[in-house]
């Protein structure tokens, strides 16, 4: 740990969740695939997400073989790759985003191979320098946590998933390893399918929150204001991925992408906040 990172105080993810908790608000975490729908629109799109109420941004790193993603995000990956989007470009965008926004946490979400080929230590250094706060490597479960050690050592928060199929015994170990926040995927399948049974999710998330030392975000299958508000009743944050990516896919230019993001997120933000103020 260098003195520079020590003086840069807490990680943005930790700080943001502390703020949310203090304000009694539910976090809103949109996911977009970096470089999709249009590479030049990415930074503007990220700012638009924040303006529409995002508390944290998950930026998808496209991969050629996204085994754990559904067709919507896979197609977004393919579109981005076809336009030459890669890790170096993505870090450049994060750096550019940071010139105007020093507070909103950014989590890169993707698969191990690009990080491995880049070199985990080298990637970690560059990511921290660019202003990335956390990394969710979909194909790096806690069993393979050593692989990602350089990321944690560099100060990045490693986000882990918990699933309905995660056993109780294992959940303890996942909670132990979790940094930043724990990401509960609310059904057993891949991203983007409609399999949300809200009562099951509520029960399960309740159990996880009792054991987790980090906040718990719930995602996968959250599509609109109503489903987000329902999840927001018990989750610390709500993640919206496929539904947003689908909405953005047809954008014609950067302005259109920003407008689509705002139109989609604003009612969700309002629904989450209405719930919060209603209770207060």
Partner 1 sequence: MSSPSVAAAPVAAIDYLHYPDARGRFGDYGGSYVAETLIAPLAELTAAYETLRADPAFVAEFERDLTHYVGRPSPIYHAERLSRQIGGAQILLKREDLNHTGAHKINNTIGQALVARSMGKRRVIAETGAGQHGVATATVCARFGLDCVVYMGATDIERQKINVYRMKLLGAEVVPVTSGSKTLKDALNEAMRDWVTNVADTFYIIGTVAGPHPYPQMVRDFNSVVGREARAQMLGQYGRLPDVITACVGGGSNAIGLFHAFLNDRDVRIVGAEAAGEGIETGHHAASLAAGRPGVLHGNRTYVLCDDDGQITETHSVSAGLDYPGVGPEHAFLKDSGRATYVGVTDEEALAAFHQLARTEGILAALESSHAVAQAMKLARELPEDALVLCNLSGRGDKDVHTIAAREGIAL
How many whole angstroms separate alpha carbon 75 and alpha carbon 193? 15
31 binds partner 1 (CB under 8 A): no
User: Active-site residue among 14, 55, 69, 133?
Assistant: 69
Does the annotation count 116 as an active-site position? no
Binding to partner 1 (CB under 8 A) within 174-203 occurs at 174, 185, 188-190, 193
For 19, 39, 193, 254, the CA distances from 104, given in Å and listed in that order, are 12, 20, 28, 21
| Number of Cα atoms under 13 Å in the Cβ half of residue 264 | 30
Taking the C-alpha atoms of residue 75 and residue 176, their distance in angstroms, rounded to an integer, is: 34
**Is residue 69 annotated as part of the catalytic site, yes or no?**
yes
> Which tokens in the block code for residue 221?
């299958």
Give the residue, chosen from 8, 19, 51, 65, that forms a contact with partner 1 under the rule CB under 8 A.
Answer: 65
Rounded Cα distance between 151 and 133, Å, is 10
Q: Which is nearer to partner 1, 152 or 170 (CB)?
A: 170
Q: Which CB sits closer to partner 1, 89 or 209?
A: 89
Q: Is 70 in the site for partner 1 (CB under 8 A)?
A: yes
Q: Which of 15, 81, 95, 276 binds partner 1 (CB under 8 A)?
A: 81
161 binds partner 1 (CB under 8 A): yes
| Window contacting partner 1 (CB under 8 A); options: 35-43, 48-56, 106-114, 149-157 | 106-114
State the minimum distance, in angstroms, from the CB of residue 165 to partner 1: 4
Q: Please, which residue, 163 or 266, has the CB nearer to partner 1? A: 163
Token pair belonging to 24:
């009694």
CA distance linking residue 56 with residue 239, whole number of Å: 9
Interatomic CA distance for residues 103 and 110, integer angstroms = 22
CA dihedral 248, 224, 262, 28 (to 10 degrees): -110
Catalytically annotated residues:
58, 69
Judged by the rule CB under 8 A, the positions of this chain that interact with partner 1 are 63-68, 70-71, 74-75, 78, 81, 86-88, 111-118, 138-141, 143-144, 147, 160-163, 165-167, 170, 174, 185, 188-190, 193
């Amino acid at each position: 740990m260098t003195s520079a990172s020590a003086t840069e105080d807490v990680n943005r993810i930790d700080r943001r969740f502390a703020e949310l908790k203090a304000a009694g608000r539910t976090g809103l975490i949109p996911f977009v695939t970096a470089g999709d729908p249009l590479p030049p629109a990415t930074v503007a799109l990220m700012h638009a997400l924040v303006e529409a109420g995002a508390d944290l941004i998950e930026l998808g790193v496209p991969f050629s073989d996204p085994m754990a993603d559904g067709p919507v995000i896979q197609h977004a990956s393919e579109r981005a790759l076809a336009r030459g989007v890669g890790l170096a470009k993505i870090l450049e965008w994060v750096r550019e985003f940071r010139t105007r926004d020093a507070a909103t946490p950014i989590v890169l979400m993707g698969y191990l191979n690009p990080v491995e080929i880049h070199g985990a230590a080298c990637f970690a250094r560059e990511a921290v320098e660019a202003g990335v706060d956390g990394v969710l490597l979909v194909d790096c479960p806690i069993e393979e946590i050593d692989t990602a050690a350089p990321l944690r050592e560099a100060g990045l928060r490693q986000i882990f998933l918990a699933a309905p199929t995660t056993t109780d015994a294992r959940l303890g170990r996942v909670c132990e390893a979790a940094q930043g926040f724990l990401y509960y995927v609310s059904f057993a399948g891949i991203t983007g399918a409609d399999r949300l049974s809200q009562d099951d999710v509520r029960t399960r998330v309740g159990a996880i929150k009792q054991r987790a030392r980090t906040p718990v975000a719930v995602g996968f299958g959250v599509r609109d204001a109503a489903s987000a508000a329902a999840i927001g009743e018990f989750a610390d944050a709500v993640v919206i991925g496929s539904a947003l990516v689908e909405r953005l896919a047809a954008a014609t230019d950067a302005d259109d992408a920003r407008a689509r993001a705002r139109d989609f997120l604003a009612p969700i933000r309002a629904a989450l906040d209405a719930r919060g103020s209603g209770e207060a």
